Amino acid sequence: MPSNIRTEYVTYTAGGKRLTSYLAWDASIAGPRPGIALFPEWWGSNEYIKRRARDIAALGYVGLACDVYGDGVEAADSTQAGALMNGLFADMTATSERVNAALDQLKARPEVDGARLGAMGYCLGGALSLHAARLGLDLRGVVSFHGSLGPTHAAKRGDVKAKVLVCHGADDVLVPPDQEAGFHKEMADLGVDVDFRAYPGAKHGFTNPEATAKGQKYGLPLAYDEKTDAQSWADMQAFWKKVFA
């Protein structure tokens, strides 16, 4: 980690849970800069999402790797991950409170320009980032990496303030074609500015170097794709530059 990157844990309560998120910023930058909330894969608050927060900090933003399960929980295996994730979707009111609270924590930081906020996430976190947009939260943009695209909130036309970038694996069998088609229709009906990137040959989890091994271990259609990881990260950087300009 570059010596100028600082990190700390931020603890708060929301949606019936005590949450411990991980903040990263570049201490060599003077003054407020955009803040980005990062929502994790279904594995929870693991090293991967914290590394991504540091990567975001290295780009000149403030990154908050958000705890969504409570007490910084990281799932021990796919069974626990599935149960934890299903618990979130079973109570979207509480989940929405956690998403809102994470953004409030980010906005309150002196390093952050509260008028320039974004959200991004992976797998489950991609769905939560899109959920934040559907809720109409005051975000410049949201980015979903290999995230679920199904609707989580019945937004109305004009509700969504954020521009949207979806980085999707064209061979992601966990996002069925009808869900993808439904997403395109939903976004068009809502009048959302969407940039949808479907990367040929990429499967679910294409950004995470541990995805292939975890897929083999748990019998899941996951695979890391180094080329697509790099391309989607570059696409994300261009997106943030545009929306935060």
Please give the average per-residue pLDDT across 82-107, as a whole number.
97
Q: What is the pLDDT of residues 143-192, one digit of tens each?
A: 999 999 999 999 999 999 999 999 999 999 999 999 999 999 999 999 99
What is the reported pTM? 0.97
Return the percentage of the chain with pLDDT > 70, whole number: 99
In this prediction, residue 3 carries a pLDDT of 80
Distance CA 208, CA 224 (A): 6
Q: Where are the domains of the chain?
A: 5-243
What value does the mean pLDDT take over residues 90-118? Answer: 97
Q: Of 6, 64, 14, 3, which is closest to residue 34 (Cα–Cα)?
A: 64
Q: Which residues pair with 26 in a beta bridge?
A: 5
Computed over every residue of the chain, the mean pLDDT equals 97
Round to whole Å and give the CA distance between 235 and 245: 16
pLDDT at 1: 64
- Indicate the class that CATH gives domain 5-243: alpha beta
CA distances (Å), origin 199, targets 47, 149, 204, 227, 232: 25, 16, 11, 10, 8
Q: What's the residue count for the chain?
A: 245
pLDDT in tens, 47-59: 999 999 999 999 9
